[in-house]
Structure 1
Amino acid sequence: MTSHPFARTIRSTPEGLLWEPGERWVRGYKGDVAVVDSRHPVLVWEPGVPVPLYAFPQGDVRTDLLRPAKNPRTGAHSGSRIFYDLDVDGESVENVAWTFPADDLSGYIAFEWFRHWDSGLDHWYEEEEEIFIHPRDPHKRVDALPSSRHVVVEIAGRVVADTRRPVLVFETSLPTRYYIPREDVRLDLFTATDHHTGCPYKGTAEYWSWSGAGDVPRNIVWSYPDPLPAVAPVKGLLAFYNEAVDLTVDGERQERPVTPFTASLRA
């Protein structure tokens, strides 16, 4: 069978890396200095890491700003060959970049984004859109769909939300999230916190914690006050962690899923 001419080609290396040529124009800045400016990046998936990162041809990187790391990391990024520190305008950032041991990726340099807050560039752009937290995965979808399903949320046996006008967010590899209008949530039973998280698909979220009794994780409720355009329907709506509340949809009690968030909710 002949493959489709536009089919994606994900390649693997003996070291367990997956990688794929990218087509987006990607730029990374430290302050006002463009450290990376590439129209030929590659996306790399490391073993056991759910999100990709970018690696760039050396010719698209300001290698004159990189120095061999003074305190190179050990055991990080699939046994990377060389780590680099970045020196820009008198400021040094340790272990900001590295090369992979894979022969397929020789000649490429990878960079930290924002998952490690102490080491990374300040701004990243795909085309003219600034991207936060980590690169978007081209094989992942996030769809926000208005619905008329009947959704009821309970905590410690108490109904805290009841709606027939949710917005359902379907995100690859995660359970469906049910975003509920504030008018249909007993927000008086929760306390706003100073916790915030960022998502490259949805934006920056704010959180609330349960004020009542029971063994309930903190920051159980979140909302995107200013979501990215792709999920605009969730603006200002409230969502609960399915992993830690009792959720009933159209009269059917949902099982609590086990996700990458489960362990952190128990912490």
Structure 2
Amino acid sequence: MTIRTDAIRKSGPLHWEPSERWVRGTKGGTTVVDSRRPVLVWQPDLPVPCYTFPESEVRTDLLRAARRPDTGAHCGATVFYDLDLDGAVTGNAAWTFPGEELAGHISFEWFGREVLDHWYEEDEEIFVHPRDPHARVDPLPSSRHVRVEIDGVPVAETRRPVLLFETGLPVRYYIPREDVRFDLLTPTDHRTRCPYKGIARYWSWSRGGPGLTDVAWTYPEPVVAAGAVRDLVCFYNEAVDLVVDGERLERPVTVFSAQRP
């Protein structure tokens, strides 16, 4: 099937567009997907896209008809596959979207349930979900005066932050380590992964308090596009008080607010 490359297209409740990125997915050292013609698909019940791949670029010999199909998921998909790799079976690992537009393509569970160990776009590993080409993450060096306070106590202050502008989120203020009061923070074992920035590690406010666990983070080895925030420290705007150029900012309401009383 030939897929147009000139615009986002719609198939029932789905929106999709072709990508020119080389995408690979592996499990246990076995390459399950190796695609140079992936298609990004937006489902109405998910905030992020997924990939679907031409069958010819998927190890279909590793797929079996699902023993217990997850019918009703993924916009009414009716064809589901289990992944059988060296006798280890992962149920409902893949599916095909209904309708003719994306016929001959196979998608893999990813967002919220990663059935493959590693995914790559070109030679860079990506996490959690495919990057949305219509979302931006722009880290910009700045000379703004930024002060971070918790319970009235200054925990960071700098005139050389990096401001990170990310679609759909408030500006994040990344601060050089030399300008952070680490004596007031306690490192934790918490880790999160972001497709746009990489793997983050965290600190909590040492004096405790609701919403102040894992309140600050850093990216020791960010993805290339977010390299400007390497080793800098950021605090949740939702949980701390930020004073920028003398103006105290209101705490934003975001998807993270529920975790930050």
Per the TM superposition, whether the score is higher than 0.5 is: yes
Matched with 1:112 is 109
Judged with a 3 Å threshold, the aligned counterparts in structure 2 of structure 1 residues 34 and 240 are, in CA distance, closer, same or farther, namely same
Q: Hey, what does 2:138 align to over in structure 1? A: 143
Give identity over the alignment, percent: 64
Change (3 A) 1:8 1:173: farther
**In structure 2, how many angstroms separate the alpha carbons of the residues matched to 1:162 and 1:122?**
39
Q: Distance in 1 between matches of 2:136 and 2:249?
A: 23
In the alignment, which residue of structure 2 is the partner of 1:71?
Answer: 68
Shift of 1:168: 0.7
Q: What pairs up with 1:21-170 in 2 under 5 angstroms?
A: 21-113=18-110, 115-117=112-114, 120-170=115-165
What's the counterpart of residue 4 of structure 1?
A: none
Q: Is the 8 A contact 2:211 2:259 kept in 1?
A: no
Work out which of the residue numbers 233, 245, 249 in structure 2 matches 1:250: 245
Paired residue for 1:232?
Answer: 227
Q: Distance in 2 between matches of 1:8 and 1:225?
A: 38
The one-letter amino acid of 1:263's match is: A
Q: Which residue in the other structure is 2:9 paired with?
A: 11
Q: Scaled by the length of structure 1, what TM-score is found?
A: 0.90
Does 2:181 correspond to 1:183?
no
1:215 pairs with 2:221: no
Aligned partner of 2:194 in structure 1 is 199
User: Partner amino acid for 2:191?
Assistant: H
Question: Quick one: distance in 2 between partners of 1:69 and 1:77?
Answer: 15
CA contact (8 A) 1:161 1:185 kept: yes
Contact 1:198-1:205 within 8 A present in 2 as well? yes
Deviations 1:60-95 (A, max 9, x none): 212121112223224432222222110111221111
SS in 1 for 2:101: helix
Q: How much does 1:213 deviate?
A: 4.9
- Give runs of ≥4 in structure 1 deviating > 4 Å: none
Measure the CA separation in 2 of the matches of 1:170 and 1:185.
21
- Number of residues of Structure 1 aligned to a counterpart in Structure 2: 258
1:256 maps to amino acid = R
Deviation, 1:114, is 5.7
Which residue identity does 1:142 align to in structure 2? V
Taking the aligned partners of 1:202 and 1:183, their CA distance within structure 2 comes to 22
- Once the two structures are TM-superposed, the CA of residue 53 in structure 1 deviates from its matched residue by 0.9
What is the CA distance between 1:50 and its match in structure 2? 2.1
Contact 2:52-2:107 at 8 Å conserved across structures: yes
C-alpha deviations, 1:86-130, integer Å up to 9, x for none? 01112211111011124322221111236314xx11122222222
RMSD of Structure 2 on Structure 1 (CA): 1.9
- CA positional deviation for 1:10: 1.0
> Which moves more between the two structures, 31-40 or 147-156?
31-40
How much has 1:31 moved relative to structure 2? 2.1
Structure 1, gaps ≥5 residues long: 1-6
For 1:233, what is the secondary structure of its paired residue? helix
CA distance in 2: counterparts of 1:8 and 1:170, whole angstroms? 28
CA contact (8 A) 2:210 2:260 kept: no
Q: Decide whether the 8 Å contact of 1:210 with 1:216 is kept in 2.
A: no
Gaps of 5+ in 2: none
User: Offset of 1:11 from its aligned partner?
Assistant: 1.4
- Using the size of structure 2 for normalisation, the TM-score is 0.92
